Amino acid sequence: MTIIVLKPGLQTTIQGRPRTGQRHLGVPTCGAADPLSMALANRLVGNSSLATALETTLTGVALAFECDTFVAITGANADCKLNGDPVTQHTTIVVRRDDQLTVGSAQNGVRSYVAFAGGLDADEVLGSTSTYLPAEFGGHNGRSLETGDELRLRNAAAVAPVEETPVEFRALMLDAWSLRAGHSCETKCVMNPDCLFEHKFKVTNRSDRMGIKLDGETIRTDSDGQMPSAAVFPGTIQCPQDGSLFVLSVDAGTTGGYPRVAKIARMDLHALGQLRPGNTLTLIERSDADAARELQDKHAYWQAWLPDISQVI
């Protein structure tokens, strides 16, 4: 029940469920940066949505199997191969002992997800197997994978029916993203609110699991930038004094002192894991009432394919 890492890629980590309810201890949410794509991969191998899987970053991963199992690849679009022959994403892949699986570089999006029937066995720390790189815990010794690492499956291969994600449930990887967002505590401090919403920002290279720095219109606030530290969450958009925007993601710190000028709505947070440097991001303004209603709608839509969608988005 072992899988050997042949090529680890830029940053491949083990991710599972989020660490909910520990932010008061400074413990970030963690988990898949794009939990929807991870759920779609898990679905195809008969796992629950948050079962422990692999998350690649931009350059993919190559694995050798020492056991029979079922896998599925979703998320960022990439050329995938089994023993050199092309295999498609969004389908259950039957893997035999001595097979080699390659996930290529991301063409659109950033992170591909590889799920395994029964899920990966990994270090469980603070209630989750998710890797938190800054503090080096969870996953595989708290770090991203390296050549020669041995991954373990939790269970011997169950018989998973071979399935495909229906086309309408294949999350799209885009170049231009529009995410719904609403006001946050310091939105009223923004002196040029017209530039915040319905405005194209560029995703910069300073983007990772902590957050995404945006370039574009300079946002002016009437704050001196010296707020008393206050709680922030994935999706909170901070505005440091230089007037840029920083969107917090799953590994972001739990408190911060920069003005919180907006927050990405819960229903669209999963897309943050796929924003690629050079992509554009437009914040579409939503009232809290609309955000609540549209979350219900989104859950109702996805429920048909992912019954536990409310734990995912």
Partner 1 sequence: MPLAGDDLISVAVADPQTAQALAAVLRDSGEWLEAVAGIDSVVVRFDLASVARAVAETRLKHATASVAVRPVRTGVVVKIPVVYGGEFGPDLERVCEKLGLTLREFVALHTGEYTVEMIGFTPGFAYVGGLDDRLIIDRRPEPRQRLPAGSIGIAAGRTGIYAMPGPGGWPIIGRTSRRLFDAGCKEPFLLSAGATVIFTASDTL
Binding site for partner 1 (CB under 8 A): 20-21, 23-28, 125-126, 132, 134-138, 142, 182-185, 187, 206, 210, 224-226, 228-233, 235-236, 240-242, 253-258, 260, 263, 265-266, 286, 288-289, 291-292, 295-296, 299, 310
Residues whose CB falls within 8 Å of the CB of residue 308, separated by 6 or more in sequence, listed in order: 39, 48, 49, 50
113, 34 contact by CB (below 8 A): yes
Complex with partner 1: residue 90 or 263, whichever CB lies closer: 263
Min. distance of Cβ 261 from partner 1 in angstroms?
A: 11
One-character DSSP codes across 128-174: B---BGGGTBSBBTTB---TT-EEEESSSPP-PPP-B--GGGSPPP-
Complex with partner 1: residue 28 or 109, whichever CB lies closer: 28
Query: Burial letters for 265-279: b for 16+ Cβ neighbours within 10 Å, e otherwise?
Result: bbbbbbbbbbbbeeb
What is the strand order of the sheet 150-153 is part of? 85-87, 80-82, 100-103, 61-65, 2-7, 150-153, 120-121
Complex with partner 1: residue 7 or 299, whichever CB lies closer: 299
- Give the position of tokens 């896998």: 71
Complex with partner 1: residue 105 or 311, whichever CB lies closer: 311
Min. distance of Cβ 121 from partner 1 in angstroms?
A: 18
Min. distance of Cβ 197 from partner 1 in angstroms?
A: 14
φ, ψ dihedrals at 187, nearest 5°:
-55, -35
Complex with partner 1: residue 168 or 224, whichever CB lies closer: 224
Question: What separation, in Å, do the N-terminal and C-terminal C-alpha atoms of the chain show?
Answer: 31
Helices (H), 4-140: 35-44
Helices (H), the chain: 35-44, 288-303
Min. distance of Cβ 265 from partner 1 in angstroms?
A: 5
Complex with partner 1: residue 116 or 137, whichever CB lies closer: 137
Min. distance of Cβ 196 from partner 1 in angstroms?
A: 14
**Both tokens of residue 175?**
């170049």
* Beta-ladder partners of 13: 55
Min. distance of Cβ 64 from partner 1 in angstroms?
A: 30
Complex with partner 1: residue 47 or 187, whichever CB lies closer: 187
Min. distance of Cβ 291 from partner 1 in angstroms?
A: 4
Query: Burial letters for 67-92: b for 16+ Cβ neighbours within 10 Å, e otherwise?
Result: bebbbbbbbbbbebebeeeebebbeb
Q: Chain-centre distance of CA 252, in angstroms?
A: 13
Min. distance of Cβ 126 from partner 1 in angstroms?
A: 7
Complex with partner 1: residue 97 or 188, whichever CB lies closer: 188
Question: What DSSP character marks residue 227?
Answer: P
